[in-house]
Amino acid sequence: MCGIAGVWFSKEAEVVGINPADIAIRMTAGQQHRGHEGAGAIFARHKERGVFLEHKGFGLVYDVFSPEAIARMNGHCGVTHNRYSTTGGSSHGNIQPLTGIMNNGDGVEVMHVAHNGNLTSELRRIQPSTSDTWSIVHNFGAVNSERKIHQRIFQALKNVKGAFSLIFLYQDKNGKNSLVCVRDPQGFRPLWLAKYKFNSGGKRRVGYLAASETCAFNKIEGAEIWRPVKPGEIVVINEDGVKSFKPKTWRGQRLARCIFEYIYFMHPASLVETDDFRKNPVHVWQIQEALGREIAKENPDLRADSVNAVPDSSILHTQGFSRQSGIPDDKAILRDHSTGRTFIAPAGQKNESVGTDERDAKILRKLAVLIGKFFGVSSIIICDDSLVRGKTLKRIISYIRFSLKNFRKSIKIIAVIMSPPIKFPCFYGINISTKRELAWNRFGGTVEDVSKEIGADDLRYLSLEGLLRVAEEFSGHGRGKWCTACFTSEYPTEIARKEYLEELN
């Protein structure tokens, strides 16, 4: 899972003091929750052939991009990326955007690409690094350069399977810059467009923004959310305007939007992709609250003195659960926001002396539990958005029991999970690529086994039926239009990569 963004402005933008690079970096920071490993950006200026302004590094967006770096990147158009690695390790060469340079003897063309998703087709030529996105760069370079840009991109992608939301910055042999947005025909990952209107030279002009989520546009005063890039659509933005292309062979394919995006990944402030989002906007927070209400309806027998969220990703789910069940919503578990999300932290080297890795270490220091809130109660509910590896919830419960033991007190702890059991690997951009790392499989494959292993007295999961019911109610998308492979093993695309086939077999 990654965050991608792009901007395209005419030269007049700089005349009125607009810095498109600053806009793009702010959008990228607005999607920080989609990747903490590294960030990169590449910008171009119109009429300056072969000149590109690039900056990349490890860390959070504003650790990588200082104010001085942003000021230096004064291009008119560009692409950015914040990385959360799935395919490919944590190397500088895997930090996107990635670049392809094509020279057929008639001039040099340059293509930069930012990719959110993961490919399931067999990969070839993924050097000079291990990112699967290099196969897209290679495919593009192999297409006849006489074709139009949208045709060339389609040819590069037509045999590619898996999840790909892409933003290209393309400069042709004459120095003309285009921003191209592409979404795979099944729509696994989100991608949105916005407009930025400004006046220059007595004329009304428009700049164009693209990002994985609409929360990125909320960081830009004056940005107007336009629309999502549709599954199977190629949008080309340049000095000739905006043109949309929908290749015939991409039409009519089964939609498979990732349902886990709405459970955990997407920012609560982002819009849900609905047919009437302008007239009746639906936000991610509404789905998350509804999931909490749904699991409370499914478990009317649950009783406790308080319900507590594992912050921050479960706060809205927990509010919904509390309101439906009538159990008071307490705030006994707090979050230190400086540590980032542990789910998207890269796993580090195992440290045998403490039995932990980088992800474990962050769990230990990101949370604060207000133990005193549990002195006057006999039972509590802890809500989490999902139970993937089980490490966070297990450590929280263990800490609570250890701390209360010092006061010679014990309480009943019930774990409530706002998604069905995650049993199968994801090959579409979520970093759970093996069965053995999943709590459900590691801990025994039953609710009772998992409950015992994490230290809970009781464990409840949301049903798949309930999840799909909520998703359909709020999005309008039927139950067959979601990817639920991590719950069901029903993968919407062909799985051809050797390492994935070995895992499934």
436: domain CATH number is 3.40.50.2020
Contacts of 210 (CB under 8 A, 6+ apart): 4, 5, 6, 7, 167, 179, 181, 191, 192, 193, 194, 229
Instruction: Write down the pTM of the prediction.
Output: 0.92
The reply to whether 117 and 219 lie within a common domain is yes
Nearest CA to 197 among 235, 224, 157, 169?
A: 224
Q: What is the CATH number for 44?
A: 3.60.20.10
Instruction: Map residue 345 onto helix, strand or coil.
Output: coil
The reply to whether 80 and 218 lie within a common domain is yes
* Vertex 369: Cα angle to 363 and 371 (nearest 5): 145
Instruction: Map residue 447 onto helix, strand or coil.
Output: helix
Over the range 244-254, which residues count as b (16 or more CB within 10 Å of their CB) and which as e? ebebeebeeee
Q: Alpha-carbon distance 426 to 104, whole Å? A: 39
The reply to whether 315 and 387 lie within a common domain is yes
Token readout for 310 is 């594992």
Q: How far is CA 394 from the centre of its chain?
A: 25
Q: Alpha-carbon distance 112 to 108, whole Å? A: 13
Q: Alpha-carbon distance 394 to 493, whole Å? A: 34
Residue type, 242: V
pLDDT of amino acid 400: 96
Token readout for 198 is 């400004």
98 inside domain: yes
261 inside domain: no
Location of structure tokens 């921050």:
312
The reply to whether 490 and 402 lie within a common domain is yes
Question: What sign results for the dihedral spanned by CA atoms 229, 230, 232, 235?
Answer: negative
278 inside domain: no
274 inside domain: no
DSSP letters spanning 104-151: -SS-EEEEEEEEEEEE-SPP---TTSS-THHHHHHHHHTS-TTS-HHH
The total number of residues written for the chain in this structure: 505
Question: What sign results for the dihedral spanned by CA atoms 116, 117, 122, 126?
Answer: positive
Structure-derived torsion over alpha carbons of residues 312, 186, 83, 70, reported in degrees to the nearest 10: -100
DSSP letters spanning 83-97: E--SSS-S-GGGSSS
70 and 28 in contact (C-beta within 8 Å)? Answer: no
324 inside domain: yes
Q: Left, alpha or beta for 47 (phi > 0: left; psi -120 to 50: alpha)?
A: left
> Among residues 230, 253, 276, which one ends one of the domains?
253
Nearest CA to 272 among 124, 453, 472, 121?
A: 472
Question: What sign results for the dihedral spanned by CA atoms 113, 119, 124, 128?
Answer: positive
The reply to whether 368 and 464 lie within a common domain is yes
The reply to whether 232 and 329 lie within a common domain is no
pLDDT of amino acid 144: 84
The reply to whether 249 and 314 lie within a common domain is no
pLDDT of amino acid 352: 34
Q: In this structure, are strands 77-83 and 52-58 parallel, antiparallel, or unpaired?
A: unpaired
Q: Alpha-carbon distance 238 to 171, whole Å? A: 10
Does the annotation count 2 as an active-site position?
yes
Q: HEC string of 150-193?
A: HHHHHHHHCCCCEEEEEEEEEECCCCCEEEEEEECCCCCCCCEE
- How many of the other CB atoms lie within 10 Å of CB of 378? 11
Q: Alpha-carbon distance 362 to 391, whole Å? A: 11
77 and 43 in contact (C-beta within 8 Å)? Answer: yes
296 inside domain: yes
C-alpha dist (Å) from residue 288 to 109, 312, 456: 45, 12, 23
Q: What is the mean pLDDT of each run of 10 residues along the chain (505 residues)?
A: 94 95 97 94 96 95 95 96 67 83 86 96 64 87 89 94 97 96 97 97 95 98 97 98 97 95 97 94 98 98 97 96 98 80 50 44 75 95 97 95 93 98 95 92 97 98 98 95 97 93 90
Q: Please report how the helices 358-366 and 391-405 are oriented relative to each other, as an axis angle in degrees rounded to 10.
A: 50
* 379 bridge partner residues: 412
The reply to whether 121 and 245 lie within a common domain is yes
Catalytic residue among 2, 215, 426, 483: 2
315: domain range? 284-504
* 244 bridge partner residues: 235
The reply to whether 169 and 70 lie within a common domain is yes
Total domains in the fold of the chain: 2
- Longest Cα–Cα distance of the chain, Å, equals 80
> Among residues 206, 232, 253, which one ends one of the domains?
253
The reply to whether 298 and 210 lie within a common domain is no
Nearest CA to 191 among 209, 172, 176, 204?
A: 209
Contacts of 423 (CB under 8 A, 6+ apart): 435, 438, 440, 441, 445, 486, 487, 489
> Among residues 197, 231, 253, which one ends one of the domains?
253
Contacts of 212 (CB under 8 A, 6+ apart): 2, 3, 4, 5, 31, 34, 116, 165, 189, 190, 191, 192
Instruction: Map residue 250 onto helix, strand or coil.
Output: helix
260 inside domain: no
277 inside domain: no
The reply to whether 406 and 338 lie within a common domain is yes
The reply to whether 248 and 368 lie within a common domain is no
